[in-house]
A = this chain, B = another copy of it.
Amino acid sequence: VTYRFAAATRRDARSLARAIALEQTVEIPAAAVPPRLNHLIVGHVDRVRGRGAAWTAVISYEPRMNGGELPQLLNLLFGNISLLTGVRIENLDLPPSVLRTFPGPQFGISGLRAVCGVTSRRPLLSASAKPVGLSARELAAICGRFARGGVDIVKDDHSLSDQHWARVRERVVRCQEAVQQANAATGSSAAFFPNLNAPVDQLDERIGILRDAGCRGALLSPMILGLDTVRSLAERSGLAFLAHPMFAGSFFGARHGIAPAVLLGVIYRLIGADGVIYPNAGGRFPAWSERACQELNLRLRAPLGRHQPAMPVAGGGVNADRVRYWNRRYGPDIMYLIGSSFYVQRDLEGAARRVADALRFS
């Protein structure tokens, strides 16, 4: 694990690195550690580098410390030190024995393309049915317009749960039907991904509703459902997952937390996200730079044990007119999630078609 932090001198930086290595493992002062555990259990400070006030330390942990369990791995990486200020995980290099314990993407980039019948290596287009407060019929009509306009994956807005304006069972059935009817009319194979952020004791029932309706995937939020809940769902649900970053933003502090390329790029992928949504640069979330987005794109696609690459999904205010610009930068293995920029155009089908055509013929 590479941790970044501030320190006044090399001595201070070494001292803080050693404090992290103790805190994250034995959680007692070095003097009280049983000698035989010093090399086995206490984190090992491999390297401390930096100058001025900016330092990084690489700390290695015994792989067996996580016991093959994600909850303990998260604790090992950032449990107690999350309560400090100014410590940020910049990089994470997991050994094969740990990588193997995760499901990773069950569909991945190629599987997501297959789910929506895309045979060429082109960017995918996604759009959300919203806003919450509409009836199931109204949301289904929106899904149909997007599907007819050439959207590949029409998804629920992440704020649609089981509110009484559009209960989940009716909503899923109607939206899926609308997308299927559009497919029949246009000859394409758009997919509908409902929101699966349900109470944990209702997840199996919700998955049943999705399966019965014929849905092939879903939207979910690892930080809200629990990262290990998503790991479990990826292993047993048979659904493709788009992971939403909602409620995760506090981790992405410039000085404290976990770099997006690690939390979204490595951990979300390991727990089974087939696509990972992030707020694209130039959108409504100004802290997200193009560089951070590119790092995340690269990390999601990079080799990671035997796991499949996951699809980066650029959202959070992507302007329909700018898709060609991003295309040149991000390449073909990308999905664009467009929301507001479609809705302000009123004609959802026409707005979607202009972008869909640009992606098909770019």
Chain A contact residues, CB within 8 Å of chain B: 23-29, 31-34, 37, 40-41, 64-72, 74-76, 78-85, 128, 130-134, 157-159, 161-165, 197-201, 221, 224-229, 231-232, 245-254, 256-258, 279, 284-288, 316, 339-340, 343-344, 346
- Name the CB-closest residue of B to A19: B284
Contact A65 B131 (CB under 8 A): no
Cα distance A73–B245 in the bound complex, in angstroms: 15
Residues of B within 8 A of A75 (CB): 158-159, 197, 221, 224, 246-247
Number of copies: 2
For the residues of A in contact with B, the DSSP-based class is: loop
Contact B65 A32 (CB under 8 A): no
Contact A32 B82 (CB under 8 A): no
A71-B161, A250-B251, A257-B250 given; A130·B26 CB < 8 A: yes
A131-B37, A199-B228, A232-B200 given; A82·B26 CB < 8 A: no
A64-B164, A159-B72 given; A26·B83 CB < 8 A: no
Contact A83 B279 (CB under 8 A): yes
Cα distance A75–B221 in the bound complex, in angstroms: 9
Cα distance A221–B72 in the bound complex, in angstroms: 10
Residues of B within 8 A of A339 (CB): 27-28
Residue of B162, B226, B256, B344 touching A67 (CB-CB under 8 A): B162
Residues of B within 8 A of A225 (CB): 71, 226, 228
Cα distance A24–B34 in the bound complex, in angstroms: 50
Residues of B within 8 A of A82 (CB): 246-250
Cα distance A67–B252 in the bound complex, in angstroms: 29
A131-B41, A250-B256, A285-B83 given; A164·B224 CB < 8 A: no
Contact A344 B34 (CB under 8 A): no
Cα distance A70–B202 in the bound complex, in angstroms: 12
Residues of B within 8 A of A84 (CB): 249, 285-287
Residues of B within 8 A of A31 (CB): 344
A37-B131, A41-B132, A71-B225 given; A284·B23 CB < 8 A: yes
Minimum CB–CB distance from A325 to chain B (whole Å) comes to 21
Residue of B29, B199, B221, B285 touching A340 (CB-CB under 8 A): B29
A133-B41, A163-B64, A250-B250 given; A71·B224 CB < 8 A: yes
Cα distance A288–B346 in the bound complex, in angstroms: 49
Contact A28 B164 (CB under 8 A): no
Cα distance A147–B304 in the bound complex, in angstroms: 46
Contact A227 B229 (CB under 8 A): no
Contact A163 B252 (CB under 8 A): no
